[in-house]
Structure 1
Amino acid sequence: MANNTKNIILSFFSNFSKLFNIGLRKKRFEIVSTSDSLYASNTSRSTFFAIIFTLFGSCHLVTGFIEYYTAKGQVEIDFFIAFGILFLIGLLCFRQFLWFVFGKQELTIQNGQLTLQKKGTFFVKPHYYLVENITNVRQGINEEHLTELEKIQLNISLNRKVLFIQIFGQVLFDYNGKKIKIFNDLKQEERIQLIQEINKRK
């Protein structure tokens, strides 16, 4: 009886913790496989809290200009220091905001090379990997094997990290001693399919 009550309580808090991770509903995963190439894409992970937070943070891009013209140019050196810091914060927030709303990561394998490219925001560049040097392609955290308490801890952790991290790594691989993360929010069968398609080309 006590264990049953405990499980009900943990299940309730596990579902409740998911509320903080609710975000935009977008098409999450696409994969196209041919005999000589592979293309896969996955949209960004976001929460409504993160979207609103970065949207308001983006306002720092213009607050300095408003203050400058309000003061009619009568400002001192500390204004420009504060303006520079706030402008940088606003720029970073705007970058994340664009990622949350429009962002996606694309994976392409062609001619023995795997390319990872983020799209939908700025300050991004493609990363290239030789397929023959890719090892240990595997799943990231598998939520199906977690206890209810571990799921609660994971949801809380994701809600905190989503503000700063763009790719959580539902699929991982090793490359020259480094762990490379791919994609967000994949279903179990989608992870397995992507892993199989990458391994087929090694």
Structure 2
Amino acid sequence: MSIKNIGLNLQYQYSRIFTFGLNRKKFVCSPKNNGLFALNSSRNTFIALGFTLFSCGLFFSGITEGFVNGNKITTEFIIVFFIIHPIVATIGLRQFLWLINGRQELRIENGEMTLTKKGTFLTKTQTFKLKDVQNIRNEIQESSISTYDKTLRNIALNRKLLFSHIIGEIIFDYKGKKVKLFNELTENQKVELITEINNLKEKPTHNNS
């Protein structure tokens, strides 16, 4: 092995530190009654968990600064500690709950695909006509990318987890938009889900809905 490859491998092994988190992986793909139910748990890392949990502490920053430390209560103080900080803390709590308890559910029935997020608050259900769901595909095949690109993906994972729920390892096009679903699937799981969705799309009852 060349020095360059050794260096790249060391960088890749180091980048894996950024992907360590709670192991709560769960995947379900269950065809039933000309429909489909699939479930995928949220992904997390210890870094993302720590950051979002820390941000939840901003709920109490106003009390700490105003009453414990004896800071003078001014208009600016109220805006920062009782408006801005609670908003940031709410966003952090929403993300923290998703990281430890979130899951995305996919249902296909009566020619419609529904994506629902559960385990946190302020989520929105998405509904799609199955006949208009196009080009269902694997976002990227890990085996087809270089060690360098894998390293960059590992390092970028925490940023993605801090600001979004769904990393999106499966993608489809819908009326000019790209929709992502599910996280941390094996290659076999991706193939299984994509195959099941395509099989339902090919059924006449769904194509004519």
State if a TM-score over 0.5 links the two structures.
Answer: yes
Q: Hey, what does 1:18 align to over in structure 2?
A: 16
One-letter amino acid of the counterpart of residue 200, structure 2: R
In 1, are the aligned partners of 2:24 and 2:41 still within 8 Å (CA)? yes
In 1, are the aligned partners of 2:37 and 2:107 still within 8 Å (CA)? yes
One-letter amino acid of the counterpart of residue 38, structure 2: A
Q: Hey, what does 2:90 align to over in structure 1?
A: 91
Of the three residues 76, 89, 96, the one matched with 1:78 is: 76
Q: Hey, what does 2:42 align to over in structure 1?
A: 44
CA distance in 1, matches of 2:152, 2:56: 29
One-letter amino acid of the counterpart of residue 149, structure 2: E
CA distance in 2, matches of 1:179, 1:77: 44
1:34 counterpart = 2:32: yes
CA distance in 2, matches of 1:61, 1:113: 40
CA distance in 2, matches of 1:45, 1:114: 22
In 1, are the aligned partners of 2:167 and 2:181 still within 8 Å (CA)? yes
Q: CA deviation at 1:101?
A: 0.4
In 2, are the aligned partners of 1:22 and 1:47 still within 8 Å (CA)? yes
CA distance in 2, matches of 1:65, 1:182: 40
Structure 2 vs 1, CA of residues 11 and 109 (structure 1 numbering), >3 Å: closer, same or farther? Answer: same
- Identical pairs, percent: 40
- What residue ranges of structure 1 are gaps of 5+ in the alignment? none
One-letter amino acid of the counterpart of residue 189, structure 1: N
- What residue ranges of structure 2 are gaps of 5+ in the alignment? 202-209
CA RMSD of aligned residues (A): 1.7
- TM-score normalized with structure 1 length: 0.93
CA distance in 2, matches of 1:148, 1:94: 34
Moved more, 117-126 or 12-21: 12-21
One-letter amino acid of the counterpart of residue 192, structure 1: V
Structure 2 vs 1, CA of residues 5 and 80 (structure 1 numbering), >3 Å: closer, same or farther? Answer: same
1:1-202 paired onto structure 2 within 5 Å:
4-70=2-68, 75-83=73-81, 84-202=83-201
Structure 2 vs 1, CA of residues 131 and 77 (structure 1 numbering), >3 Å: closer, same or farther? Answer: same
Moved more, 93-102 or 64-73: 64-73
Moved more, 90-99 or 24-33: 24-33
In 2, are the aligned partners of 1:44 and 1:102 still within 8 Å (CA)? yes
CA distance in 2, matches of 1:5, 1:66: 53
